Amino acid sequence: MRRSLGSSYDEIGQSYSATRREDPRIAAVIHSALGAAKSVLNVGAGTGNYEPRDRTVIALEPSAAMIAQRSGGAVSAVQGVAEALPFASDSFDVAMGVLTVHHWSDRVRGMRELRRVARRQVLFFFEPAKVDATWIMHYWPAIRELPTEVDPPGEAFFRSELAVQDVRPVLVPADCVDGFGGAYWARPEAYLDPTVRGGISSFTQLDPAEAAAGHRRLERALASGEWDERFGDLRALSEFDIGYRILVAGD
Ligand SMILES: C[S@@+](CC[C@H](N)C(=O)[O-])C[C@H]1O[C@@H](n2cnc3c(N)ncnc32)[C@H](O)[C@@H]1O
């Protein structure tokens, strides 16, 4: 099996399901983007978050550790990678991917595979052009140097590889249930919790000394009031465009 970019989720995903559960408001956006699709392939499916329960779903995931954390209600997953999908051409109405493409070792090949097996593609991703909206980088600047973050795929890349119909911001609720990278934009104290950081690949891939230094920087900024002075207005918002996008491509 091809190795993914950065660390494998067999290493960094051991406790993923502790903090990574689908947020119902984001799930509604993703499910609406699936349209009338009856058959769905979920690529980089992980523990099964955001998989619709009212359609035929096949899940594909490379990491055994992630597959082991799939809930009893989720369909069982096929082990494999996006770059070599073990399915015949035109097998699915939609191929979906949630917060996964930046981990693929060959994203161009992965896009070709999505187009081959499904006539429509639905992706939920973080738009790199919005990276400055994430104050997290002020405290953990080394995140920008991670292999998955140096040149992550954004709208421009997807437009070059897919017949994109629509790309829209997905506002992240202040009480977002899914603990992905930007989820705690209004709850900075959460990033001081090692369990929270353990569910976010940008932190689990960091050198432990860098992770600890960032922890100390944020802790000091919260104690001194500096964080609230710079970013405290965020605490009053109920949702925010921190850079997540839903994309629909194909027919
Ligand atoms: C952040 S997790 C997202 C999991 C799930 N989609 C979710 O929303 O909870 C990223 C997933 O992409 C998977 N992944 C990494 N490289 C991949 C590849 N080349 N092909 C398919 N999936 C891959 C990882 O193993 C991991 O499960």
CATH number of the domain within which 234 lies: 3.40.50.150
Question: Which residue's CA is the closest to the ligand 1 atom numbered 13?
Answer: 44
83 is written with which tokens?
Answer: 């770059």
Q: Are 12 and 61 in contact (CB under 8 A)?
A: no
3-state secondary structure of 250: strand
For the CA of 124, the nearest atom of ligand 1: 8
SS3 at position 241: coil
Residues of the chain with pLDDT under 70: 1-7
CA distance 123 to 97: 5
Q: Over the stretch 39-66, which tens digit does the pLDDT of each residue have?
A: 999 999 999 999 999 999 999 999 999 9
Residue 116 in any domain: the answer is yes
Domain membership flag for residue 207: yes
Nearest CA to ligand 1 atom 19: 104
- For residue 145, report the phi and psi dihedrals to the nearest 5 degrees: -90, -5
Domain assignment present for residue 2? The answer is no
Q: Is the CB of 44 under 6 A from ligand 1?
A: yes
The reply to whether 206 falls in a domain is yes
Per the structure, the count of domains in the chain is 1
CA of 44 from ligand 1 middle (Å) equals: 4
Tell me if 63 CB under 6 Å of ligand 1. yes
Strand pairing class (164-169; 56-61): unpaired
The tens digit of pLDDT for each residue in 185-198 reads 999 999 999 999 99
Look at residues 133, 170, 126 and name the one whose alpha carbon lies nearest to residue 148: 126
Say how far apart CA 196 and CA 175 lie, in whole Å: 14
Q: What pLDDT, on the 0 to 100 scale, is given for residue 7? A: 58
In a domain, 160, yes or no: yes
What pLDDT does residue 2 have?
41
Which pLDDT belongs to residue 121?
98
State the residue range of the domain holding 73: 9-250
- Quote the CA–CA distance of 19 and 178 in Å, as a whole number: 7
Assess if residue 51 is contained within a domain: yes
Residue-level length of the chain: 251
Q: What is the Å distance from ligand 1's center to 36 Cα?
A: 24
pLDDT at 62: 96
Is the C-beta atom of 134 inside 6 A of ligand 1?
A: no
User: What is the rounded CA–CA span in Å between residue 77 and residue 60?
Assistant: 5
**239 assigned to some structural domain:** yes
pLDDT at 131: 85
| Alpha carbon distance 2, 176 (integer Å) | 33
